[in-house]
């Protein structure tokens, strides 16, 4: 009886771990970075074509590269995060556009060898507040990489770090 309970408990535990893995791994095997909203700022943008506000953050490797001015190419270990919200209007200042409903978070993870077919970058996107991984198969990254071609001479990164004192 004890053995049966133990096996049942282990099975349940294993099932939980698997479910978490499925939820936090993109089709190309890249995991959702932990605590990314605690990262430091690189820039922001307002896309007036699709009415979204964006804040671009970086992990420690990325921020060190920014402070050193070594961002073309970005070093291996860099993760850039772009957080995207629908446009909203600031209630007390109508001529200010601010982030409204959360749309998605997307990340570029640099490893020149591992992701050599996509410019050295591993792309992921996580939809909505539930952070559902985007893409049906590992081939989804072609869409990301194709879109980033205009920024090829900036290591495929659209963002330029902001000017700071």
Residues that bind its own copies (CB under 8 A): 37-41, 43-49, 53-55, 57, 63, 83, 85, 90, 92-93, 95-102, 105, 126, 128-131, 150-151, 154, 158-160, 162-165
* Shortest reach from residue 130's CB to its own copies, in Å: 7
Cα-only R_g, the chain: 19
Bridge partner residues of 73 (DSSP):
none
Indicate the residue among 3 and 49 with the shorter CB distance to its own copies. 49
Residue with token string 């590992």? 138
Indicate the residue among 28 and 159 with the shorter CB distance to its own copies. 159
Q: Is residue 14 packed enough to be buried (19+ CB in 10 Å), middle (13-18) or exposed (0-12)? A: exposed
* Shortest reach from residue 5's CB to its own copies, in Å: 36
Indicate the residue among 9 and 162 with the shorter CB distance to its own copies. 162
* Shortest reach from residue 63's CB to its own copies, in Å: 8
CA distances (Å), origin 74, targets 10, 20, 88, 108: 43, 30, 33, 11
Indicate the residue among 2 and 93 with the shorter CB distance to its own copies. 93
* Shortest reach from residue 143's CB to its own copies, in Å: 16
Bridge partner residues of 146 (DSSP):
none
* Shortest reach from residue 145's CB to its own copies, in Å: 15
Q: What are phi and psi of 110, to 5 degrees?
A: -90, 125
Cα–Cα distance measured from residue 137 to residue 96, given in angstroms and rounded to the nearest whole number = 39
Indicate the residue among 3 and 93 with the shorter CB distance to its own copies. 93
Residues with Cβ within 8 Å of 34's Cβ and at least 6 positions away in sequence, in order, are none
């Amino acid at each position: 009886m004890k053995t049966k309970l133990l096996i049942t408990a282990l099975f349940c535990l294993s099932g939980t771990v698997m479910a978490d893995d499925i939820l936090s791994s993109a089709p190309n095997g890249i995991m959702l970075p932990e605590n990314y909203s605690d990262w430091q700022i690189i820039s922001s943008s307002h896309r007036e074509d699709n009415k979204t506000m964006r804040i671009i953050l970086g992990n420690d490797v990325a921020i060190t590269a920014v402070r050193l001015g070594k961002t073309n190419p970005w070093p291996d270990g860099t993760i850039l995060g772009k957080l995207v919200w629908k446009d909203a209007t600031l209630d007390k200042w109508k001529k200010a556009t601010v982030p409204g409903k959360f749309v998605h978070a997307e990340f570029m993870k640099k490893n020149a060898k591992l992701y050599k077919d996509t410019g050295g970058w591993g792309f992921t996107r996580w939809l909505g507040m539930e952070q559902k991984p985007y893409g049906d198969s590992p081939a989804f990254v072609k869409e990301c990489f194709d879109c980033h071609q205009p920024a090829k001479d900036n290591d495929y990164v659209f963002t330029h770090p902001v000017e700071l004192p």
